[in-house]
């Protein structure tokens, strides 16, 4: 029996663990993949107060070690369900706690094109900082118009010989600082008001078909495609026990309680206006302190 089970080892979940451990609680962190969540994909984090610049991977590593050293139990198992008795059931075991914090974050949205899944690792990637180095002096495309796409395009422009940035509108959703940085890169070509309609290649990516608003399709030969079109939550498995909205995010009136007593939420998994590292760690701290207060 644990005091708190935290589902998800991203910044929100790890911060919740940090606060709970410092309050002498027995904590289990369940994570399906590896620690760090999406921040590991950020080449540089430069908007975290008090830290001028750090790679997302380094940030996650320090946070994980900090929590591990404080004595958290980590199990890298996939949670499949929480039952009516609030047992947390993974693919391997069943766990119990006085409180549960859901910090499941979100995962990369797919373009949902026919060949996309087949070519993952064969030219299709969702992580420029993980795979960018394979494309030294090669031609790559980035799709998306948010901070991730802009950041990825800047990062890749320093590695690849050419970067196409493909976005479905004529303006970017991402911050001006990234847009300015990108404009300085001479090997970036913008393809705006356009969508990728086909990924070509069998054993590896060969080209993409891009359709503009006039309906014209051009084929662009590339070595790699970096898809950065946002994230989607993964809370379907919890809908038997808590309320989630039509987009899959966990509904919380006050940003910490779910619709089920004893189950709390933190980070990108919940309905919120700003999904950032700062707001994720803030959520984690609030979720843990609230859970501790209410379990007394
Ligand atoms: P995002 O802000 O949701 O942007 C997703 C982009 O993909 C949008 O430009 C969107 O187009 C486009 N898009 C969505 N679905 C598409 C589809 N099916 N086909 C083509 N384009 C599609 O996602 P994100 O860039 O991953 O950022 C997520 C969050 O993390 C944001 O809050 C962001 O600020 C934050 N973040 C912060 C940093 C940092 O501060 N260092 C770095 C990375 C991310 P529309 O604009 O037309 O909707």
Give the end of a domain, one of 199, 227, 255. Answer: 227
Are 201 and 119 in contact, with CB atoms under 8 Å apart?
Answer: yes
CATH of the domain at 88: 3.50.50.60
Q: Is 244 found in the same domain as 100? A: yes
Q: Is 207 found in the same domain as 263? A: no
Residue 173 Cβ contacting ligand 1 at under 6 Å: yes
Q: Is 101 found in the same domain as 143? A: no
Check whether 104 has a pLDDT greater than 90: yes
- CA of 133 relative to ligand 1 center, distance in Å: 22
- Residue 245 CA to residue 83 CA, distance in Å, equals 20
Q: Is 220 found in the same domain as 166? A: yes
Give the pLDDT confidence score for residue 46 in this predicted structure: 87
Is the model more confident about 126 or about 43?
A: 126
Q: Is 213 found in the same domain as 285? A: no
Residue 275 Cβ contacting ligand 1 at under 6 Å: yes
Q: Is 195 found in the same domain as 55? A: no
Q: Is 195 found in the same domain as 249? A: no
Residue 129 Cβ contacting ligand 1 at under 6 Å: no
Residue 167 is part of which domain span?
117-227
| CB burial of residue 169 (10 Å; 0-12, 13-18, 19+) | exposed
pLDDT tens for 209-234 read 999 999 999 999 999 999 999 989 99
131 is a catalytic site residue:
yes
pLDDT tens for 155-165 read 999 999 999 99
Number of domains in the chain: 2
pLDDT band, residue 68 (cuts 50/70/90): very high
- Residue 286 CA to residue 290 CA, distance in Å, equals 6
Give the pLDDT confidence score for residue 8 in this predicted structure: 98
Q: Is 88 found in the same domain as 125? A: no
Give the end of a domain, one of 227, 247, 263. Answer: 227
Give the pLDDT confidence score for residue 130 in this predicted structure: 80
pTM over 0.85: no
Q: Is 122 found in the same domain as 223? A: yes
Q: Is 150 found in the same domain as 9? A: no
Among candidate residues 164, 175, 171, the one with its CA nearest the CA of residue 141? 164
Question: Residue 17's Cα: distance from chain center in Å?
Answer: 19
Q: Which residue's C-alpha comes closest to atom 13 of ligand 1?
A: 229
268 is a catalytic site residue:
no
Q: Is 222 found in the same domain as 85? A: no
- CA of 198 relative to ligand 1 center, distance in Å: 21
Give the end of a domain, one of 179, 196, 227. Answer: 227
Residue 179 Cβ contacting ligand 1 at under 6 Å: no
Q: Is 130 found in the same domain as 101? A: no
Residue 159 Cβ contacting ligand 1 at under 6 Å: no
Give the pLDDT confidence score for residue 155 in this predicted structure: 94
127 is a catalytic site residue:
yes
Task: Retrieve residue 115's tokens.
Answer: 């060949």
């Amino acid at each position: 029996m644990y005091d708190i089970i935290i589902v998800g080892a991203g910044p929100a979940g790890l911060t919740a663990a940090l606060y709970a451990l410092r309050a002498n609680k027995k904590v289990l962190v369940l994570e399906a993949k590896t620690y760090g969540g999406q921040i590991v994909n950020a080449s540089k984090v430069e908007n975290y107060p008090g830290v001028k610049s750090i790679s997302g991977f380094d940030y996650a590593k320090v946070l994980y070690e900090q929590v591990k050293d404080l004595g958290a139990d980590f199990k890298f198992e996939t949670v499949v369900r929480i039952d009516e008795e609030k047992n947390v059931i993974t693919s391997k075991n069943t766990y119990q706690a006085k409180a549960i914090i859901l910090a499941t974050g979100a995962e990369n949205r797919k373009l949902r094109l026919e060949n996309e899944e087949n070519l993952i690792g064969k030219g299709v990637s969702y992580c420029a900082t993980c795979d960018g180095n394979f494309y030294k002096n090669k031609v790559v495309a980035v799709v998306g118009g948010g901070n991730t796409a802009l950041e990825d395009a800047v990062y890749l422009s320093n590695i690849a010989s050419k970067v196409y940035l493909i976005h479905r509108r004529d303006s970017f959703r991402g911050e001006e600082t990234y847009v300015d940085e990108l404009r300085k890169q001479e090997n970036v070509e913008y393809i705006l008001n356009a969508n990728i309609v086909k990924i070509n290649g069998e054993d590896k990516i060969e080209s993409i078909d891009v359709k503009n608003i006039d309906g014209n399709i051009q084929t662009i030969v590339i070595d790699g495609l970096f898809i950065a079109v946002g994230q989607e939550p993964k809370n379907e498995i919890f809908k038997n026990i808590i309320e989630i909205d039509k987009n899959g995010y966990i509904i919380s009136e006050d940003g910490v309680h779910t619709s089920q007593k004893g189950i709390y939420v933190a980070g990108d998994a919940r309905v919120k206006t700003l999904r950032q590292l700062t707001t994720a760690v803030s959520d984690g701290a609030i979720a843990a302190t609230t859970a501790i207060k209410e379990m007394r």
